[in-house]
Structure 1
């Protein structure tokens, strides 16, 4: 094996504090010079080309279950589609679709529209708005409350728990943050468990059936599996959906032509959500472990190797995307990997597309003068999710 290549001195490692705000120059160098890169710092193989990342997300030689066990943190995630490989993955995914699949989302589409209307109404008359706190978090809370059938009285507690468990997204969180995340996950599991029986009973009695109720009533799952899927929906759904709003507005507001296209129609707004997620993937990498040697054009990965598919780099691969660093809201096709690929394609993709499109179109139409004010926002120092902080807007 030849000596591992290293980034040039002028480029910060994309995982380092200096490199996290703008990892794209390092991603570009790796993709052009060493797309199958052994990183001596993390002892992981980093994939940056779209073709290689797509293969790693689809090919059974790259194990998702082993990838989750290789987290830097020593805690384990609950059993779910995220932490399993086929055939166990399919066994969990089918009932999981009762909570997050396309039919479940269609069933609450009216509720999603109502939640977005509530968020937009709440901005009226405000001189200053914080993108995440005032738009993104209320959106995420309202949308997930509809999935789980939560009454208004439960929403504040749910939002507080959802914010606290979000640290579990970051595989490199420090010991103190990881411990807080474990404690919050236990509280969230108890919170959902206390509501699961009533939700399931309503379904069995022929009453109001929420997506969570259908999941809780499904006898293909153990209770631990059901709560694992429900909890991971909150962990993987609330924070990324909340932060997507600020990331999207960061790209849209300075580009009036793009904003006008989003105002113009629902289909364009949906297309814009995909394009915005391509440019700023909230989950910028996915971990896998090879079960056997894998030969790629850029190198050979040994069996048992820890691999990161850097989807944030793959989503700007010029071999796949023309003008990869530019916002093209009508881009088609758009085979970005922000939702993953293959058997692990994110179940929540329809929810994010629908809620994101309705929110952005409604927000830009109702508040056409929306603009950034004050100090420019900065990228948060955490790796996951990729998010802005301090993004203040005026209406």
Structure 2
């Protein structure tokens, strides 16, 4: 049933976008998915879509425009050209060269170096007892990955990390005007940094993209900027989110140690289903559209709530539990349709590698705080910190 009149959540549930509701939005998502999977939300002034079938339809149907969705959140300001800010056929024209940055061949070209970076990171942690997985594992790993992709030197680490952190403000579609302005300014600084490196980049996925004459320089910078904003922070936060679920479950840690690459990737997909850093994505309806859960009108600004869809009991048995051998796993953490995340393989592969090697290196690792706190941000879904006790041992 489509709800076009004000909808009230039960008194015991906080709105998922309220400061308190952001800490644990899933009870509200569950209620909305059951009672009003397609409805206009008066707080967000958007249509919220929470069922898996509804979200998948929004992501795949060209009646929903990603470009218009991004223009709506930019408050009328000009957006840099990228896969996120365009629809087919322009989206396809940009995405095809983007494969040279994040496609399978690009990831394969730096896979050995990234594996070495993971081992080096874990080696540096070996002398520690308690570490913050958010600041000391997730962030450094994400930066190492992007230094490899962009052919940057280790001396660029600090500058790149600062710029990536500042530009990541742009992830939040409901950020206030002042915060949004800071994000746009940071994006400009990041673009200038990347522009300077395009001219002198060492052989790398970035240098191959920069040499592609199918793109103008602003288009190249748009693709690179999107890779950072849509890839660096989500990859960094994926680590903490995954360990939050993983470390209290010794049986799953044992599976990571013993099950090989295939088991690690299956577990990684399940962890992404449960706690994806990007919980929703924006679209605008170009005409009246009837979804499985209701109808949205032409011109409607729509949020496909991926975090709610990923726990839909109509698709996932035991939706709120970690099921390490869940196959198939049709989660929407990377979206679906034409805008399926180009960096999905990178996140899956890097995350699985890190978790498997951490489980092997630190077999007694555990959460040092049984109740770590979630940040009161909408995007990305992230922990403020995740203290991890490495167990004082080395599994090698």
TM-score (structure 1 length as normaliser): 0.95
Listed one character per residue, the Cα deviations across residues 336-380 of structure 1 (whole Å, up to 9, x for unaligned) are 000010110101011001100110000111011111224731110
CA distance in 2, matches of 1:27, 1:107: 40
Aligned to 1:236: 230
Flag the 1:95–1:240 CA change in 2: closer, same or farther, 3 A: same
Gaps of 5+ in 2: 391-396
Flag the 1:377–1:31 CA change in 2: closer, same or farther, 3 A: same
Aligned to 2:94: 92
1:352 alignment partner, one of 341, 347, 350:
347
SS in 1 for 2:302: strand
Aligned to 1:257: 251
Aligned to 2:194: 192
Give, in angstroms, the shift of residue 74 of structure 1: 5.4
Q: Is the 8 A contact 1:75 1:182 kept in 2?
A: no
CA distance in 1, matches of 2:75, 2:147: 29
Aligned to 1:378: 373
Is 1:285–2:295 an aligned residue pair?
Answer: no
Aligned to 1:328: 323
Listed one character per residue, the Cα deviations across residues 48-85 of structure 1 (whole Å, up to 9, x for unaligned) are 11001000000000100001011165555421111110
CA distance in 2, matches of 1:235, 1:211: 17
1:297 alignment partner, one of 287, 292, 296:
292
Give, in angstroms, the shift of residue 209 of structure 1: 2.8
After the TM superposition, which residues 1-395 of structure 1 pair with which residues of structure 2 at under 5 Å, given as runs?
A: 3-71=5-73, 73=75, 75-199=77-201, 209-264=203-258, 265-374=260-369, 376-395=371-390
Computed over aligned residues only, the root mean square deviation of the Cα atoms, in angstroms, reads 1.4
CA distance in 2, matches of 1:42, 1:61: 22
CA distance in 2, matches of 1:317, 1:284: 14
Give, in angstroms, the shift of residue 177 of structure 1: 2.2
Q: Is the 8 A contact 1:95 1:218 kept in 2?
A: yes
CA distance in 2, matches of 1:142, 1:394: 23
Q: Is the 8 A contact 1:376 1:391 kept in 2?
A: no
CA distance in 2, matches of 1:174, 1:279: 28
Aligned residues: 387
Deviation larger for 98-107 or 293-302: 293-302
Give, in angstroms, the shift of residue 180 of structure 1: 2.0
CA distance in 2, matches of 1:248, 1:3: 38
Give, in angstroms, the shift of residue 277 of structure 1: 0.7
Give, in angstroms, the shift of residue 296 of structure 1: 2.2
Q: Is the 8 A contact 2:53 2:292 kept in 1?
A: no
CA distance in 2, matches of 1:188, 1:2: 41
CA distance in 2, matches of 1:6, 1:324: 24
Q: Is the 8 A contact 2:4 2:39 kept in 1?
A: no
CA distance in 2, matches of 1:159, 1:3: 44
Q: Is the 8 A contact 1:24 1:313 kept in 2?
A: yes
Q: Is the 8 A contact 1:72 1:172 kept in 2?
A: no
